[in-house]
Structures are given as C-alpha cells and as structure tokens.
Chain A
Amino acid sequence: MKGKPLLPAQRLHALKRALQKSKQRQLFQHMLQCNPLLFVLALLSCLLLSQVYSQWPIYAQYTLLLCAPVFIFVLGFVRPSYRQITYANLAKDLNRRFSTLEESCALLFMVEDNTSSLGLTPEQSLTSLQRLQFNRSANALDNLIHTKDVDLAARYPLKVPIFINIATGLVCFILWYFVAGNPQSWIGQSEHASLNGQANSTSVKADRLASIITAQLDVTPPPYALGINGYTTHQTHALDAQVLAGSQATWRIDLSARQSQYSLKFSDNDSLALTQNADGIFTGSKVIHRSSVYQVLDEKQRVVAVHTLMVTADEAPKITFIAPQATITEIPSYAEGTKPVVYTQALIKDDFALGKVEIIASVAKGSGESVKFRDSVFTFDTVQSIAGEQVYNKSWDLVALGMAPGDELYFSIRAWDNRQPDPQLSRSSSKIVRWLDEDTETVFSEGTLVDNMPAYFKSQRQIIIDTKALIANEAILNDPEFKQTSGELGIAQADLKHKYGQFVGDEISGIVHTMEGGANTEQFDQDNHEEHADDEKEDEHKEHSAHSKPDAMDKSGYQTAIEQFGHAHGETDVAIFKTQDTIEQNPRVMMKRAIGYMWQAESQLRLNRPQDALPHEEQALLWLNRAKKAERIYVKRLGFEPPPVSEKRRYQGKLDDIENNVQQHPTVQNDSNIQALQRLIALLNAPMQSTMPFNNDELAILQDANSRLQNMLDEDPNVIRILALLAQIESAKQRHPTSCELCAERLQAQLWQLLPPAQSSPAQLRRPYSNTQPAIKHYAEFLRIKEHP
C-alpha cells in the first residue's frame, strides 16, 4: 500500500525502533535458552542445599535464586549474538527479507549517517546512481513501514527454547515432587556424606530417638541416717543405684535432643516430669521408698533408657537373749538367807540407732481359776558397750516384784529404732521365770502331770553306759559273750522303744479290741525273737514283736478304761511346724525321732555292732531330753489310744439328715506366682517365635508377670534386675529389642534361678504300641484265655 513518503527522520526512527525490537527479541530468546538452567538450579538448591547444608538459612537460598536470573539477564547483553545486532546487520536482514529493497537498505543507513554526522544532503553525499537507487529504496522502505503487517525487526526462533523449557520444567518438577517429598532417603545419603555427626536441627524431618550423653544421680539419705554407716548427703550414684529407703534422689541428665520434654516413669506407675535448667540439663527429684524400675521417656512416650533403683530397707532392731537362754527358768524354793534373783542380759542392735527399749512383764499369782496377772513395764538397769555392741542388763528380784513360791514371771523386750517418721518395733520372744514350790518338782510332759521321774528316762542313759562298756570290753570278751551282750542290749533298747511308742500313739501289735468287747484281756504275743547272729542274714532287718508284758504298762487301769469306753478315730497327722531359725518344738515329733534313733540303735545292737549303735543311742537320748523340755506344753495328751472302729458300729446313729451330695469344681484355680513366671519363661523361650512381636495375649502374660514381680520385690530386692529386663522387653513389645539384644536370654536366666524345681504331675506312659492294634488285641485275648481257660 502506498502512503505518504516519510521524512528521513521518521524513516530513521522506524529503523531504530526495529533495531531495538530486535534486541529485545534476542534477549528474550537468550532468557528462554537459559531458563532450563534456572530450573535445575532451583531444584538443586531446594534439595541439596537445604537438606545437606542445613545451616544455610532460607533467605540465602532465595538470594541465590534471585541473583541467578539477574546474572543471566546481564549476561545476555554481553552475548555476541546480542552485540551483533547493529544497523548494518539489520540492513542485511531487511535486504534478505524484503526483495523490494533491492539490497540497498544499507544505502539508506549510509545517507542518514552522512546527513546526521556531516550535515550533507543526500544529493551531496551520493552519486547520481546512488541517488536514484536511494530514492527507490526509500520508497520501498516507506511502503514497508506503512504496511502494518510488516515487521521490520529481526526474528528469533523460540519454538525450540520453549520446548526445552517445558521439558526441563517437567523433569525438575517430577524430581522435586518425588524426591523432595521423601526427604529421608536423601537424609540417609546426606548423613553418610556428612563429615561429622551433628545434632539434629529443627529442620530435620526424621524422628530420631534421643540418647543420654551424661547422667548423674544425687542421693541424700533421710536425716536420721546421716553420718551413720557411711551415709552422707549428696552422694553421687550411677542411674542404676542402691539407696536407703526414704532417700531423696535427684537426677541430672544431659540428653542429645534438648528440645524435647522428658519424664521418668516408675514401675509403680508413678511419673516424674524432668525440668530443663538454663544449661540444658534435665533435672528431677523424688523421695524413694521402694525398689523400682524406671524409664526415661521422651515427649512421645518412647523409652530412652531403663534403669533400676534398689532400695535398702531400714531393718528393725534385733534382740538376742544372752541370759537366760532357756524359755523357762525354774527357780527352786530358796532356803533362808538366799534371795531369788534372775539375771537377764540381752544384745540389742540396729543398723542405725536405737530409740526406746523397755521390758514388758507380767506376774502370775495363784493357781487354777484364781490366777491373777499383773502387767508392768520395766527398763534395763544398765547398758554396756561390748565390742561396739549394746548389751542391756537387768536383774529380777522376785521378792521385790511381790512374788511368792509357786508364782511365775513372764517378760519380753520391746525395742524401737530411730527411723523417721515411723520407728520400727521389734519384740523378743517371751521368757518365763517359774518360782517353784518347796515340795514338788514336777515334770510337765504333754500336759500330763507326772509326779515322779519315770524310770525309763534313766534306762536310755543306762543303755548308753552299757554299750560303752561293751565296746571297751570287746577285746576281753569272747565272741559268744560279746554277741549275747549285744543282743541283750538290743532287746532292752527294743523294750524302751515300745514303751515310748505308746506315748506317741503308735499302734502296738496285738491290740485289736472294740468298745463292745470291753476291756482288753489279751496278752501280747510272746514271740520268740530271733537272734541275728547268722552272718548270712545280717543284712536283713526282721521285724520283732513287742514282748513286754502288758500289765507293766497299765498300772493305773487308765488304759483299760479308755479301751472300754473310748473309740479310735484313726491316726492323726504328724505335722512339723518349724519356726524360722529355731529348733523343732513339737514334743511329739521329738519323741518320734527319738524312737527312730532307737530303731537304728536296736538294729545295730542286734547285728552285734555296738560301736555303730552308740551314736544312735546318744541321739535318742538327746531327743528324749528335748521332748522333755519342749516349748509347747499345751498339746494333745499322749498315751490316749482308743480302740479301732468295728464295722458293726460304723455309720450308726441318726442318718436321716445325711443325704447324697454332688460337688462340682469345673476348674481348680492355681494361679500362683510360680505358674505366672513359668508362663513368662515359656513365652520368652519359644525358639520358633524369636522374631515375632507379642500379640495381645502374650502382652497380658508380660503384664501379669510384671505385677507379680512387683509384689515380690519387697521380699527379694534382687527381683529388681528381672523387672528392669522385663521393662525393656515389654516396652519394645518384642523378645529382642534393638537396645538390648540379649535381654530375653538374661531374663530367662534370672527367672530360671528364681523358680523352684518343678513339681511332678500325673502322667501316662507312652508305650510304642496302641491298645487298638489288632495284634495287641489278639495278644490281650490270648492272655485272657490263658488266665481264665
């Protein structure tokens, strides 16, 4: 389209505009070409810089991301392709693109240059031919300028850069999404790449369990124990400590992750929150009364560490009588001028210190139903310190106490220690002082008052004397005499054994009579006892019968009356109730033991071995004397032997109220501690389940065992170690926690030591054949026919 011809200035302005536009386009292309680099740079800064070099603050990353584009933009101006955008190159480009310029666009620029710089007109600066061409080109250029669709500026291809940008952008986005979205894998690699293991910063996304760097436990014992037995204030212990009950424990723990909250959880479900000091150390304080296992937990209740606190209990005072040793002290009736005085001396000690010590005494006066008791409280006369121990002394003047012959004094010692706030009380055993009357010295035996010392108490001693004499004379006596004497001693021992046997209720051979039958008139069998002189039969111990006469045993007719009117209820139990740290107290059992030793002695004597019999004889005498002096005097009467029940008399009487009865016990509960521990040890031991986590039932077993062990802690403080191991396993909910791989094995070993030997139970034999096998059935039938043809 033809328009008005432009002025040279207008023409120049259009060309300048085209030049600037070309430069802009070139810069734009340059930025597009460099944009992928920016994408990659952004991705790298997002992933690596922020995660590996975590100290880099965020703004530094932003600064980097802003400076990069600016730098690249500035770089565009320096780029050669940009610097080549000149009028000359523009003219060349126009000539190439528009053929109407007839390759003469440079002519236009040259004329303009001459006009602007030299002030020459086109007619003056150009030749005629150039002028002619100039006019033609100027017209063509003017037409181009007027044409709106024509773009004089140079064109730079953008398709490829745009495509590369899109592709790079997608790739970087994908990488950023999948990798940056799972930072742990990068963290794992970056931690390997890091040169030093540094503490986690707040930017660390992984939930790492804290660890204890340093720890200290300050223990202050209770005030009453200070200065005694080495207990001082602020004693430093490790986290697994043994402290006195009532001590104040203060924890100071330095943990790797100081930004979290921590607490201590004790096995009695008590919890103690730790507070953080200005120096970052976590502290907490608690008064400890009983042994426990405690765990250090973080704010997410995860177990950081497990430790034990074993408590040493303050023991109660111990009272030991030095004098009198015997429970019953008998004071004989005194003659004129002598005073009835009893000395008492006791050793009383405590692990720390004693508080109060007193004597509780009762005086019993009178007899039968008119007995009167008078209680009093006394103190010791003197306290001596012998070899660092406190010995308390007291002398009892029976007359001063208002006692008379026939009265009794009972006293015991009470002692308190200095424990605060509740002192512990110990009470000694009771002692009895018996002031005897003038006329009778009685022997109490099983509640039956025996006036005179029975002759048979001396016989055992006589047997011993005779045995010793026989041993001494063995070289002098010839063989038949020796054997005869030994046999006679054996017979005497057998007689004595039978006599004592009556008192402990042993059935005597030959007594089978009932109440209907009346008094017993049968004589004992007079069996001939066989001599055991034959060497071939020395090893046999044949039974021998009692050959003593019955008349000698029942002098008062007492036995006869019992036989006539009484009836036997059968043998009763002989139970041994041993008190701790004391000897046997049951006189019946002592008598039985003495009889047992008499058996042994008799057998040895009959085998002509008096030297082997002598120890048994002495033991028998020892136990007889102990029975005589037994502490329990109010026991079942001896010597009562009712006759056995006859079948005719059995189940007589009114039977209307006796009915058939049915009792059902679906399950015998035997849920003892031992069974709980056995279940626990079986649970830990399962070799095929060592890697499996615990299910709910198994966790219940662990908890049950835990609670039972807690209860056992007071009796056995060593259980604390078991509780510590169990706590670790329970918290990890698996047999082999990562923090303690050997916990299960160690716990099993500890439990094994705690368990008693297993009790035997009913069992069946596993025979390698089955009762249902045809061959076995035929054999059984064969046996049956053979037995019953």
Chain B
Amino acid sequence: MSWHVAQIGAYSLTTPQNMSLGQCTVLGILLLGAWLFSNLLIYRRLFKPRRYICALLLSLNTLAFMAFLGTVLDTRYSHTHTKQAILVTSGVSQEKLAALGRDKSGYNTVFTLDNNIDLSGATYLASPSLLVHAMPDVDTISVLGDGLSSEQWRTLLATQAHRDGVYTNSIAVTFSPSIKSTGLVDMRWNRQITLGEQLDITGIVQAPTTVDKANSHDTTQYLLQLQTPSGSVEQEVHLVAGQSFHLSTQPKSAGQWLYTLKLLTLSSQQVLEQSQLAVSIEQPPTLRVAIWQSAPSFETKHLKDWASKTGSQIKVVTQISQQAYLRQTINQAPLATGSVAPKGKQFFSPQALNDSDILLMDGRGLVQLSVDERDRLGEAVESGMGLLVFADNDLADSNLFNGAPQKKKLNMPRVQVDKQAEDELAIIYPQRPVTKNAKAMTSQLLAVSPLRFSNEQGDVLLNAPNQRPLVKRIHQGLGQVAMTLIPRSYVWKINDNQQAYGRLWHYLFKQIARNTLHTYWQPEKQDQLTLLHAQLNACLTLGNDKFTVSRYQAFSQYMDNQLRIEQPLVLNQQPEQPIWWCTHYWPQTSGWHRLYLANTTTANQAETSLNKPAASQYRYVYSPDTWPSWQQSNKHAASKEMAALSPQKTSNIHQEILHKGWFYGLLLLMLTLLWLARRLL
C-alpha cells in the first residue's frame, strides 16, 4: 500500500510500499522541516553580504532536497499503449516477415515458434505457453502464419498471468492466416477395425483458392490415389478443389498397416501431398452362436460353416423327426464322459442361453415353443442375448402377435403374409452411403419371402432400393429381437460372392448380437491426429464386473532406436462413467505405440506376457511434419475461433517506476557542490 503524494503530468509521486500514513506524515514533516530550516540558515548568513551566492546555495539546497525526496519516494511514469506480442508461426509469407522487420515500434515484441524462420530480433519460444512468461503484461497477441492448434491455445491461455490478483482472459487475439496449402483436409478414417470390415476414408481436397466449391473458379483437376501397404494403387479418383471424397477398401490381413494417400495434379502428375493412414486391424473375437430350427436348412448350414471357420462357438439343435433332434456343437470342448446330452425336444437351458451371444431360429421353431420356453427366451433377450428369426408363413399365421399367453412377451416385429411381396431385390445398408447411379446387379439380388412387415415398430437394419424393409429389429431390455425376410442369402455364397455374403452377416450379427463382455480400449476418434509430443489420451472400457482394474497395470510400448521401451501409465476412473478408466501421456517417438494391460506391476514381468495381455491396442503417432494441409486447416480453424472469442483489442495504462539511481546521483552531486561551497566560502 502506498500513498499518492503528488501528480505532475504523467508523473506521480507515491510513498514507499508498506508505510503507514502516520509514518509518511512524520517523515514528510521532518524532511520539509529540515529543508526549511536549512534554507533559513543559508538566508540568514548569506543574504545580506552575498545575495547571489545565497540564491545559488538555496537552489542547490532545494535541488538536493528534491533529489532526496526522489530517493525516498517512488516516481511513477504512466503511459497508455498496447503491448502486443507478435507470434510468428510457420507458413508466414515473406511480405509479412519483411513488414515485421520494418516495424520499429517499441511496444511490439516478436516471438517465433519455428527456428527455421529467418527473423532478426525475434525471440524463439519452445512452446506457446512460454509467451506469457516472456511477456507477462501482454495486451494483444497477433498470430501470423498457420496459427496454433487448439491444444496449444489451451496451454497458452492456461499460463496467463494474473492481473492485479484477478485471473482474467483479457488478452485480445488477432490472427492473420497464411495462404492455404494444397492438400487433404478434414480427414476421417477408422483407426482400429477388425479383420473383414471396411476401411472408409473421407476428406476434402483443399487448394489456396478454395472458399466455396460452388463459387470456386479453380478448375484444376487433381488425382487422388489410395495405395495399399504393398505400394500398389488400390483406388484412384479425380477431384477438383473443395470436393470431398469417400474411399473404401478392405484390408487383407490383421496387423498394423500404413496406407498412403497421394494427391497429384492430373495434368502434370506432380505430387502435391503424400501422407500415410495408419490402421490397426485386429482379429475379431469369437462369437457364441446358437441355432434352433424345426427343419434342416441350407441357410443355417451355410451360416454355420461361415461362422465356424473363424472359431466361433456354435451349437445347433435341429428337429429331424417328430420327436428326434440332432444336436451339434462346433468349436467347443466335447461333452465330458458321463454327462447326458438333452434328449428330445428340450429347448436351450437358461444357462445355455446366457452363454450365447445370438440365437437364430426359424419362425416355425419359434411357434412350436411352449409358453415356458418362450418366457425363457424372453428373459434371455432381456438380459442381453440377440435373437434373429427367419420369418415364414407359420410365424405370420400364428397368434404370437396377438397376445399369446406368456409371462414375458417377446417383443418382435410383426409380419403378415403377402403373396405379392415375393420378389428378388437388392439390399441396401441404411448406414452406408449409396453411390450415385448405383444399379442393382442381378448377382446382388436376393429372394425375399412373400411376407411383409405390418407396422412401423422397430428400426430397419436392411431395406430394398424401394425402401421396403427386409430386416427389422426391436430392442427388448438389454437385447434385441430381429426378423429377416431373406430366406436364402446363401445363394450369394454358392454363387461365388462370398464377400457380399460375409459382409451381410457380419453386419447383421454386429447389430443383433449381445454387447461384448471384453475389456477394451476405446477406439481413436476418426478425425483425430496424434502428433509427437502432443498429449495422447486413451480410455479403457470395462466389459464386466469381474474385471478388477487394480490387479492390472497399464503400459505403453514403443520402439526407440531399435530398443523396445515400456512406460507405465496411470489409469484414472472417470466419475461420470465408472466403467471408463482413462490415461494420458506424451509420446516421445513417432511410429506405432501399443497400449496394453498386464496382470503385473512391473514392465519386465509384463514383457513376459507380451503376447497375451488383457486388453491391447495399437495407435500411431505422427511426426509433426505429416499431413501439412490438415494440420494447417486445424490450426486455422482453432486460431480463427480463438480470435473470434477473445475480447476486443484494448489499450491499457502502464506505469513504470523511474530508476532511483538518477536521484541518488543528483543528490550526491548536490551534496558535493554544497560541500565545495562550504569550503570555498
């Protein structure tokens, strides 16, 4: 606390800090009294005999007194201006750099994040968060070039200095973006997929003139190539600036692969950008499938063959006669000697249903179940099991939809017989984009039963090009009941179209089967670009209550100069989602990183369980020079948003305390002159 003594223009005198009013008053009186008394003595002694000397000595005395005051009191100089920090990032043009060099304003300080920018007088910052430390009273940050990413903005503003004890976001931000580079932006692709799934890649081609595709006069044609990990060109597409693209491919093998997107100009074949898409393809976990059918069927036979080839555990019960049933188990341990297999018409036990992820039934088989068996089935569905029913005339004519007596009603889509509905149609996946001018080829048609869904209940999993629903699903409890009108999808399989067949049933199983009970790492966001030294966040989802996180340790593993490094990670439970445990770290090397859980606490022991971790996921860390256009686009967007949200440009009053050394020097000089005068006179 200091007291304001006097104000002379832009200068103000204040008492020293932490001095009470009484002390200041006493001191002032003493100093003033000393000055007056000394002046009086000088006047008395010298006024009559030597007036000029007297005047000189009085002046010296007064100057000495003022100098003494200057040493005791604080002299502040107030001025109003804007202290601007100019942050130069990569991509800034030469003209702007030259303009910076000509700027002689003393209140602007130039910083740079890029060591390669040739700018004299600029201060290099290793991180944007150091800017506020370097310039605590900055009023405005003017960003030139590509800008900062959202994470960089976050760290910069988080380190903002307190002003007068109050934390405020009062820094104004202006942004002068660099010229857009030609390349790929807004990229999205699924980073972690299972073997057999499609890899979908979307993005936009950006060019310097891209503002709005409709208004763009840029007619330059570009060629975009998708190259497989082997280097061969998988797909090619011709694009113009601002045009979006969608590429799709099916990886051939599990593992960690790098696809390449290459953008060239169509005319000169000049490579404009070549970036890598990292994809981790995992082996799909096995599924537990149960089949209950009232008669042998080619459809279930082919389904069983298809599912068993990948290791799925299958149990099939087929009625082969009035009282005789054939029970088959595939990819399961054989029954122990002495145990008795169910005989006759004995529906799956509750334990068997709970051990199944999906149950396939024909309509007639469902109708023939007793009330208790249907109730058992309903309970299993409510606890999470999926049920897929092959609709047939028996089901449509039954009274299951009309309130058949049962405790737990099986909620399923209603069907009715419609002889006109028999047809051969192509199928469309509702979630996948239909390409323009797509025509259903004969080989992709499937026969459809003479049945029709009779109400709007449920959501559509598959439909025909004429929007007729072919497979519908209704949620019941934790599970779902689906019904299909496609009786002979195996035609695709035997007509040399195994790909379409597999894709169809992969999709249906995924939509209907029980939710997975495995603990897994959540997949990366499709539009996320993990860069070197940037924070990497990962979350674990626990599959069931039996998984105790405390018995496991999370590690990240990566290669650094031919050495494998294991780094332990700390998992934190998320309060809003108790089954989510999240961790983060800052990768120090680019390339593949592996996150895994091990039932141990040390990395060395974890290494022994390298091949059998509890949950494992691969992620790719890109080096900072990859995806240049995409990074630029993200930085532009983040910086523009920050500039829009920041307060207006302000000018603040800044006070500087004048250095007291001058006053000390003046005081010394005056005292010296006074002493000389004393001696001479």
Residue numbers of A with Cβ under 8 A of B are 507, 509-510, 525, 527, 539-541, 543-545, 571, 573-576, 593, 596, 599, 647, 651, 655, 658-668, 670, 678, 681-682, 685-691, 748-753, 755-773, 776, 780, 783-784, 787-788
Chain A CB within 8 A of B557 CB: yes
What residues of A have a CB within 8 angstroms of the CB of B324 in the complex? 655, 658-661
What residues of B have a CB within 8 angstroms of the CB of A758 in the complex? 195-196, 250-253
User: Are A765 and B516 in contact, with the CB atoms below 8 A?
Assistant: yes
- Size category of the B interface is 35 or more
User: Are A762 and B542 in contact, with the CB atoms below 8 A?
Assistant: no
Chain A CB within 8 A of B269 CB: no
User: Are A763 and B334 in contact, with the CB atoms below 8 A?
Assistant: no
Chain A CB within 8 A of B422 CB: yes
User: Are A668 and B445 in contact, with the CB atoms below 8 A?
Assistant: no
Chain A CB within 8 A of B146 CB: no
**A762 in contact with B505 given A666-B331, A748-B229 (CB within 8 Å):** yes
7 closest cross-chain pairs (CB), A and B: A760-B502, A760-B196, A760-B506, A749-B230, A685-B255, A761-B310, A752-B230
Report how far A571 CA is from B307 CA in the complex, Å.
24
What residues of A have a CB within 8 angstroms of the CB of B564 in the complex? 688, 691
A–B Cβ pairs within 8 angstroms, 5 of them: A541-B466, A668-B330, A763-B509, A770-B517, A780-B477
Tell which of B33-41, B282-290, B647-655 binds the partner.
B282-290
**A665 in contact with B331 given A576-B495, A682-B255, A768-B522 (CB within 8 Å):** yes
User: Are A757 and B499 in contact, with the CB atoms below 8 A?
Assistant: yes
Chain A CB within 8 A of B640 CB: no
Minimum CB distance partner of A685 in chain B? B255
**A763 in contact with B326 given A749-B231, A750-B230, A752-B230 (CB within 8 Å):** no
Report how far A596 CA is from B498 CA in the complex, Å.
22
Minimum CB distance partner of A670 in chain B? B309
The B371-424 residues at the A interface (CB cut-off 8 A) are 382-384, 394, 408-409, 411, 419-424
Tell which of B19-27, B315-323, B671-679 binds the partner.
B315-323
Chain A CB within 8 A of B349 CB: no
**A783 in contact with B502 given A682-B254, A757-B252 (CB within 8 Å):** no
Report how far A574 CA is from B256 CA in the complex, Å.
40
User: Are B505 and A687 in contact, with the CB atoms below 8 A?
Assistant: no
Report how far A540 CA is from B196 CA in the complex, Å.
34
Given A667-B331, A688-B592, A760-B197, 14 further pairs, Cβ under 8 A: A509-B450, A544-B420, A576-B496, A658-B324, A662-B327, A688-B559, A691-B564, A748-B230, A749-B230, A760-B499, A760-B505, A766-B516, A776-B478, A784-B382
Most buried by B among A509, A575, A659, A662: A662
Report how far A545 CA is from B308 CA in the complex, Å.
41
Report how far A81 CA is from B427 CA in the complex, Å.
117
Partner of B322, one of A599, A655, A661, A667: A655
User: Are B506 and A668 in contact, with the CB atoms below 8 A?
Assistant: no
Partner of A688, one of B325, B466, B522, B557: B557
User: Are A763 and B253 in contact, with the CB atoms below 8 A?
Assistant: no
Report how far A545 CA is from B418 CA in the complex, Å.
11
Minimum CB distance partner of B425 in chain A? A541
Report how far A158 CA is from B508 CA in the complex, Å.
103
User: Are A770 and B228 in contact, with the CB atoms below 8 A?
Assistant: no
The B244-300 residues at the A interface (CB cut-off 8 A) are 250-257, 284-287, 289, 298
- Min distance, Cβ B227 to any Cβ of chain A, angstroms: 11
Chain A CB within 8 A of B545 CB: yes
User: Are B421 and A764 in contact, with the CB atoms below 8 A?
Assistant: no
- Min distance, Cβ B446 to any Cβ of chain A, angstroms: 12
What residues of A have a CB within 8 angstroms of the CB of B419 in the complex? 509-510, 525, 545
**A574 in contact with B498 given A687-B256, A687-B618, A771-B384 (CB within 8 Å):** no
User: Are A763 and B194 in contact, with the CB atoms below 8 A?
Assistant: yes
Report how far A760 CA is from B307 CA in the complex, Å.
10
User: Are A660 and B409 in contact, with the CB atoms below 8 A?
Assistant: no
- Min distance, Cβ B437 to any Cβ of chain A, angstroms: 13
Report how far A303 CA is from B522 CA in the complex, Å.
46
**A788 in contact with B196 given A666-B331, A760-B505, A763-B506 (CB within 8 Å):** no
**A571 in contact with B488 given A763-B284, A763-B285 (CB within 8 Å):** yes
- Min distance, Cβ B44 to any Cβ of chain A, angstroms: 96
What residues of A have a CB within 8 angstroms of the CB of B515 in the complex? 764-767, 769-771
Cβ proximity bits B8-29 to A, threshold 8 Å, 1 near / 0 not:
0000000000000000000000
Chain A CB within 8 A of B660 CB: no
Report how far A373 CA is from B516 CA in the complex, Å.
68
User: Are B328 and A665 in contact, with the CB atoms below 8 A?
Assistant: yes
Report how far A776 CA is from B520 CA in the complex, Å.
18
What residues of B have a CB within 8 angstroms of the CB of A599 in the complex? 424
Cβ proximity bits B332-347 to A, threshold 8 Å, 1 near / 0 not:
1111000001011000
Report how far A412 CA is from B257 CA in the complex, Å.
53
What residues of A have a CB within 8 angstroms of the CB of B344 in the complex? 660
Minimum CB distance partner of B345 in chain A? A660
Chain A CB within 8 A of B476 CB: yes
Report how far A667 CA is from B511 CA in the complex, Å.
27
What residues of A have a CB within 8 angstroms of the CB of B450 in the complex? 507, 509
- Min distance, Cβ B278 to any Cβ of chain A, angstroms: 11
Report how far A757 CA is from B500 CA in the complex, Å.
12
Partner of A509, one of B422, B494, B578, B592: B422
User: Are A752 and B253 in contact, with the CB atoms below 8 A?
Assistant: yes
What residues of B have a CB within 8 angstroms of the CB of A660 in the complex? 324-327, 341, 343-344
